Amino acid sequence: MAEREIPPNVQQQLLRLQQLQQSLAVLLSEKQRIEAELAEIGAALEELNKLEDGSSVYKAVGPVYVQTTKEKALAELNEKKELADTRLKVLERQEARAKSQIETLQKEIQRMLGGPSSG
């Protein structure tokens, strides 16, 4: 097969594809971090629910542990969980959009190069 130069417009699309793939990788990394945070919150909530009401618990605040009540700790963790769930949903939508854009761009590049448009 004879070598041929890639047209500038295709090079631009390839660069855009690479940028989208990098963005997707960042999104996936952040999504994984939030999923781990949610798992940790879930485990903490499970343990707190085993305690009697009114129990004292300790929470980490920077390098020190501070005494609080079970109820306050539950409220804080539930709020954190809600926020993390919301962030996760946003990231999942962004991930779906990025994957769709990547797929569309790949097809466009194949079309520009005159290659097979396999999906």
Please indicate, yes or no, if residue 1 is contained in any of the structural domains.
no
Percent of the chain whose predicted confidence (pLDDT) is above 70: 92
Model confidence, pTM: 0.81
Please tell me which residue, 80 or 7, carries the higher pLDDT value. 80
CA dist 51 and 44 (Å) reads 11
Please indicate, yes or no, if residue 104 is contained in any of the structural domains.
yes
Residue 1: per-residue pLDDT: 47
Which domain range does residue 48 map to? 9-113
Q: Which CATH number covers residue 31?
A: 1.10.287.370
Please indicate, yes or no, if residue 4 is contained in any of the structural domains.
no
Q: Please check the confidence at residue 105 and state whether its pLDDT lies above 60.
A: yes
Beta bridge partners of 58: 67
CA dist 105 and 110 (Å) reads 9
SS3 for the chain, per residue? CCCCCCCHHHHHHHHHHHHHHHHHHHHHHHHHHHHHHHHHHHHHHHHHHHCCCCCEEEEEECCEEEEEEHHHHHHHHHHHHHHHHHHHHHHHHHHHHHHHHHHHHHHHHHHHHCCCCCC
Please indicate, yes or no, if residue 22 is contained in any of the structural domains.
yes
Taking residues 63-80, what's their average pLDDT? 96
pLDDT digits (tens, 9 = 90+) for 18-41: 999 999 999 999 999 999 999 999
Please indicate, yes or no, if residue 77 is contained in any of the structural domains.
yes
Please indicate, yes or no, if residue 82 is contained in any of the structural domains.
yes
Taking residues 70-86, what's their average pLDDT? 97
Q: What is the number of domains present in the chain? A: 1
Please indicate, yes or no, if residue 119 is contained in any of the structural domains.
no
Please indicate, yes or no, if residue 45 is contained in any of the structural domains.
yes
Mean predicted lDDT score pLDDT of the chain = 92
Question: Contact at 8 Å (CB) between 17 and 102?
Answer: yes
Q: Please check the confidence at residue 87 and state whether its pLDDT lies above 70.
A: yes
Taking residues 98-118, what's their average pLDDT? 86
